[in-house]
Structure 1
Amino acid sequence: MRNRLPPDQYISGILAGDRLVLSRAITLIESRRPDDQALAQEVLTGVLNRTGHSVRVGITGVPGVGKSTFIETFGKYLTDQGHKLAVLAVDPTSQRSGGSLLGDKTRMEQLSVDPNAYIRPSPAGDSLGGVAHRTRETMLLCEAAGFDVILIETVGVGQSETLVHGMVDFFLLLMLAGAGDELQGMKRGIMELADALAITKADGDNRPATDRARVEYQNALHLFPPTGTGWSPPVLTCSATTGEGITDIWQLIQNHQELMTRHGHRDRRRQEQQLAWFRSHLRNRLESRFFQQTGVAEQLKAVEAQIKAGTLLPVQAVENLLRNI
């Protein structure tokens, strides 16, 4: 196979922390070729017993909130504390060209050259949820390579971006102050999923606005139903420019992990995430197999023509397709 290593070389390289082999393995994981996927599953199986030991943090926020700048400052703080950090940064994919800028490394100049940090930008492609098609598998490979903190940066807040919550231990929502109608403009659903909110750019003349926003968001969160874990999502302020609040955010994440581990919620959350991953992949495979069946393409064309003409309702069209195949 073209430029592919044997499975044992991928496995030994990843477990040894070889970043070049790790990057090649992630490229293999992201490939949609059936032969690449078969090899990728061998590699994942070979490193599986060395995964699951990191703190997985999802980071999302409204456009312009400064996710990459925050991650640069936060990541440098973590590496200075002796942690090995992997950043999985997902860039939006153009719906017209199918291309993606993958410019996160240029926005994280210091972190990209830090020997204790690894940044992997990936295109979101046609995947919903604000994460790339193979983010879960990539996370496992990074854990096997020895990274003990994994940050997942999503493409931005939207209705379909709660998927990231289903693969992390801690979900951090970054917010702006003074952007106008913050509470009304924010999706309630994603606020309910957040383990903490952080108001960014809390420095200079913007500091009074961030303090007001913190109180407003905290009051709003009190109206939400309890999480059932004993954890009440707090609201903090921070500045990636001055570094203020960065230490508090990491301490908060550690406190959350300690509480979740002590009461067994962390293990249960990961078990539920594994089941959700299985069901999601099962649905995708069933859909793929359906469209690959002989005669489906021809029947689809005929049915779609009837739907366009208004002679067949979509619900009835689906029933007819399933009955005939």
Structure 2
Amino acid sequence: MTDDPLLAPLLAGDRRALSRAITLVESTRADHRARAAALLDALRSAGREALRIGLSGTPGVGKSTFIEAFGLKLTGEGKRVAVLAVDPSSTRTGGSILGDKTRMERLSRDPRAFIRPSPSAAHLGGVARRTREAVSLCEASGVDVVLIETVGVGQSETMVAGMCDLFTLLLAPAGGDELQGVKRGIMEIADLILVNKADGELKSAATRTVADYAGALRLLRKRPQDPQGFPKALPVSAVTGEGLDRAWEEMQTLTAWRRESGHWEANRAAQASHWFAEQVREGLLARLERDPQVRARMTELAEAVAAGERAPEAAAAEMLETMKAG
């Protein structure tokens, strides 16, 4: 166990300690990284788990509105909820708006809810660089449900499934064009497809869209970690709240089945092994980038590639051979 001053208040559920701990794990300073690693290792002994729900969706589908309505439903049942909202970062300036708290005004005032926006920092997968570590901190603080909102639908966004127990795809009522536009990779990992805005004039369109996706899901190969009838497509309305009870019931049903069948533990173990390997790869790359000779040779070869003097493949092979020889 570490004597870190954040450990005790974090285990006691202190929101300020949780915020400070997430800031710590997001830091790139070497001393902060070492402290964060020790803290995370110490928190493992607490043995606390939360239901991790990943949520993705096309831009404008109403992810933030849905999360607020869904989060308020859960807190109304006495559950503690954490929302880790990832905002896209500018590739030019590196900045992010981080406006999720303004879009979830009611939920942000709920004492049983914790909202933390983080910049994606150009990290692929629709998640921030340290999102998984933030999830572990939320679990250790006694949170019951962690909602991970990703930046939007994309092929690389399937990475979020590597840190979630359930992956939910939120879509708007639309015709076949949107069905064609959704990547197959995301369709294959979705546990639930929720068609939002199923209210008012859009309700009939939402019903048809649910039928379209239900038909598409039947064409996919059945996954061994799913009981009969999953994955499912359901209509919901974040405005009226209609369908939220059904969506939560289905999530609980799927979670209970996976726990009883052993898929829950197997999935968590596979995720831990995957992120261990990712951390090793990331650490090796960081160590290489700190080597002045490696950095100088990388710059030299990059300039040659940019000038058209070397093919990228040949330059990369030479760089790898140089590192191997060193």
TM-score bin, normalised by smaller chain: over 0.9
Does residue 78 of structure 1 match 2:51?
no
Alpha carbons of 1:52 and 1:165: their partners in 2 closer, same or farther (altered >3 Å)?
Answer: farther
User: Could you tell me how far apart the structure 2 residues matched to 1:64 and 1:7 are?
Assistant: 45
Mapped contact 2:59–2:152 kept (Cα < 8 A): yes
User: Could you tell me how far apart the structure 1 residues matched to 2:150 and 2:65 are?
Assistant: 14
Q: Secondary structure at the match of 1:295?
A: helix
* 1:3 aligned residue: none
Among 84, 89, 92, the residue aligned to 2:88: 92
Among 245, 251, 256, the residue aligned to 2:249: 251
- Could you tell me which amino acid in structure 1 is paired with residue 34 of structure 2? A
Among 253, 266, 269, the residue aligned to 1:268: 266
Q: Secondary structure at the match of 2:153?
A: coil
Aligned 1:309-320 pairs, distance under 5 A: 309-320=307-318
* 2:239 aligned residue: 241
Please report the TM-score for the alignment, with normalisation by the length of structure 2: 0.95
* Residue 127 (structure 1) shift: 1.3
* Residue 180 (structure 1) shift: 5.9
* 1:28 aligned residue: 24
Alpha carbons of 1:179 and 1:50: their partners in 2 closer, same or farther (altered >3 Å)?
Answer: farther
Mapped contact 1:214–1:236 kept (Cα < 8 A): yes
Mapped contact 1:124–1:133 kept (Cα < 8 A): yes
User: Could you tell me how far apart the structure 2 residues matched to 1:39 and 1:179 are?
Assistant: 50
Q: Secondary structure at the match of 1:14?
A: helix
User: Could you tell me how far apart the structure 1 residues matched to 2:226 and 2:318 are?
Assistant: 49
Aligned 1:9-158 pairs, distance under 5 A: 9-158=5-154
User: Could you tell me how far apart the structure 2 residues matched to 1:51 and 1:113 are?
Assistant: 29
CA-to-partner distance for each residue in 1:178-213, whole Å, 9 max, x for gaps?
266121111111011100100000000101100000
Aligned 1:153-164 pairs, distance under 5 A: 153-164=149-160
Mapped contact 1:51–1:141 kept (Cα < 8 A): no
**Residue identity (%):** 47
Mapped contact 1:85–1:147 kept (Cα < 8 A): yes
Mapped contact 1:7–1:39 kept (Cα < 8 A): no
Q: Secondary structure at the match of 1:305?
A: helix
Mapped contact 1:51–1:140 kept (Cα < 8 A): no
Structure 2, gaps ≥5 residues long: none
User: Could you tell me how far apart the structure 2 residues matched to 1:230 and 1:39 are?
Assistant: 39
Give the aligned length.
320
Please report the TM-score for the alignment, with normalisation by the length of structure 1: 0.95
User: Could you tell me how far apart the structure 2 residues matched to 1:58 and 1:137 are?
Assistant: 15
User: Could you tell me how far apart the structure 2 residues matched to 1:20 and 1:184 are?
Assistant: 44
Mapped contact 1:197–1:234 kept (Cα < 8 A): yes
Does residue 216 of structure 1 match 2:212?
yes
